[in-house]
Amino acid sequence: MIVRALLSGVTAVAFGLLYQVSGSTLIISGVIGTISWALAGLIMHFPNAGLLGDFVGAIIVGGMAEVAARLKHEPALVFVVPSIIVFVPGDLVYQSMVAFLKDHFLSGMQSGLTALMAAGALSIGLALATAVLRPMLRGRWGAGKHRV
Amino acid sequence: MKPISSGQSENPVPKVLTVIADAGSALLASGAEVARVEDTMQRLAFAYHLKSVEVIVFPTALFINASGMNTVIRRIKNRGVNLAVVRAINQLSRDVSQNPIAVEELENRLAEARRTARYRPEANLLFAGIGALAISQLMGGRPVDLLPALIGGALTQLVRQWLRHMGVANGVADMLAAAVAVVPAVASAYWGISYPGSILVAGIMVLTPGLLMTTAVRDGIQGDVLSAAARILEALLSAGAIAAGASLTLYMYLALGGRWT
């Protein structure tokens, strides 16, 4: 469990490097990746969790990135993009692909649709975190002094 | 008699406007969201005392106009991911709005920001390899999957970089890179490693359109629905291209009677 969370952090750092991020930003991305995966992993163990883990993970990534962006005066995008990669449902897409190739149409459809819904859960989680946190943070620190 | 239309010669585009447009197009080409591009351009225009500035930004084009000047248009053809450029230009616009500098100096610093902190191409291969390696372990891989995943990630990135460099369209490049990404997984299946799925997933995850999905969401919340729709479409097309490319290799392997468990 802890090892997997740390692996998630390593993934976030590696993809951060791939997207040309550097310095302390990279370390923060790694921490966000680790914490979000650990909490999402806990939720996955609930009975009938379904895609709840992805959803909560995305909320945590979005929320922490928004706070980090405020504190570091950097675009939130820099923190979100590397950390969200581990939640992308690559495994489901792969299962769907193999099922279609083996003529198992129904299970291919099932995995494919689940992957699409997982992507939807991630999007809604990110959107929710950003939409709620951004106005709150803007109000607290320096009341939009950077606005035109 | 005075002509009604004053023509271009009397109304030249000042350098400020073109430099601001360049800053915007560099941001957009590096993967920034629409609201950030508009915000940065407005902030720069405000710092140079331009009056009644209007900015319109789409994922593929941007327009900027100030009162008494011609409109400047930029077409964005090549879009990639370079968060270092987004950070640098964001920082630059903050600095300029606090203490203004001459337009020529802004132009120089912008050119510097566009080249900023890029890692060398060979280093990118290593990063992709390490990312793929970590993902293969997350997807339930075993130690035996480590090396093929590392090779898969690096190989995928190599093919994608090379194709982009050749000027191949993004969708086609993604498809071909995905087709190659599967090769290490297929090879390990051929040499008897069971459940090669985690190696395959690790390879294609390097190509994931994660940035497009994120920016689509952020554009959507801000109300830039046109950009959000365009980026969702681009992400779906990219995912489709990746799945098609990976399926192609896998299909040929299976059709030749290969073993896949």
Identify whether residues B56 and B32 lie together within a single domain: yes
B135·A90 Cβ contact <8 A: yes
Burial class (CB in 10 A: 0-12, 13-18, 19+), A147: exposed
Q: Does B213 touch chain A (CB under 8 A)?
A: yes
- Which A residues in the span 18-57 are in contact with B, Cβ-Cβ below 8 Å? 18-22, 25
Residue A146: pLDDT band (50, 70, 90) is very low
How many angstroms away from the CA of A141 is the closest CA of chain B? 16
Are both B78 and B131 inside the same structural domain? Answer: no
Please provide the average confidence, as pLDDT, over all residues in chain B.
86
Residue B4 within any structural domain of the chain: no
DSSP tag of B58: E
Residues B130 and B82 occupy one common structural domain:
no
- Compute the average pLDDT of residues B171-190: 90
CA–CA gap between residue A16 and residue A147 (Å, rounded): 28
pLDDT in tens, A1-53: 788 888 899 999 999 998 888 888 899 999 999 999 999 989 988 888 888 99
Q: Is B7 within the bounds of a domain?
A: no
Q: Are residues B91 and B133 in the same domain?
A: no
- List the domain range (segments joined by +) for residue B142: 121-255
Q: Is residue B162 part of a domain?
A: yes
- For residues B85 and B141, membership in a common domain is answered with no
Q: Please tell me whether residues B51 and B97 are part of one structural domain.
A: yes
Give the nearest chain A residue to B81 (CA atoms).
Answer: A19
Q: Taking a contact as any Cβ pair under 8 Å apart, which residues of chain B between 12 and 71 contact chain A? A: 31-33, 36, 39, 42-43, 46
- Tell me: do B231 and B133 sit in the same domain: yes
Q: What is the mean pLDDT of residues A75-84?
A: 91
Structural domain includes residue B213: yes
Residue of A7, A21, A91 with shortest CB distance to B201 = A91
Q: Report the run of H or E that residue B131 belongs to, with start and end.
A: helix B121-138
Domain assignment present for residue B1? The answer is no
B205 contacts chain A (CB < 8 A): yes
| C-alpha A98: how far from chain center | 25
In terms of Cβ atoms closer than 10 Å to its own Cβ (0-12, 13-18, 19+), residue A121 is: buried
Q: Which residues of B touch A95 (CB under 8 A)?
A: 197
Query: Does residue B87 share a domain with residue B32?
Result: yes
Q: What is the ipTM of this complex?
A: 0.84
Write down which residue in B114, B132, B162 finishes a domain: B114
CB contact under 8 Å between B197 and A11, yes or no, is: no
**What are B181-211's pLDDT values in tens digits?**
999 998 888 887 777 888 889 888 999 888 8
Mean pLDDT for chain A overall: 87
Residue B8 lies in a domain: no
Does B66 lie in the same domain as B167?
A: no
- Same domain for B158 and B248: yes
What's the total number of domains in chain B? 2
Question: Beta strand B61-65 with B54-58: parallel, antiparallel or unpaired?
Answer: antiparallel
Q: Are residues B150 and B96 in the same domain?
A: no
Which among B83, B114, B145 is the end of a domain? B114
> What's the pLDDT at A144?
46
Closest CA to A35 of A14, A4, A66: A4
Claim to verify: residue B135 and residue B250 sit in the same structural domain:
yes
* pLDDT for the residue B254: 87
Q: Residue A119 is nearest to which of B157, B213, B251, comparing CB atoms?
A: B213
Q: Is residue B26 part of a domain?
A: yes
Instruction: Tell me which of B58, B85, B114 is where a domain ends.
Output: B114
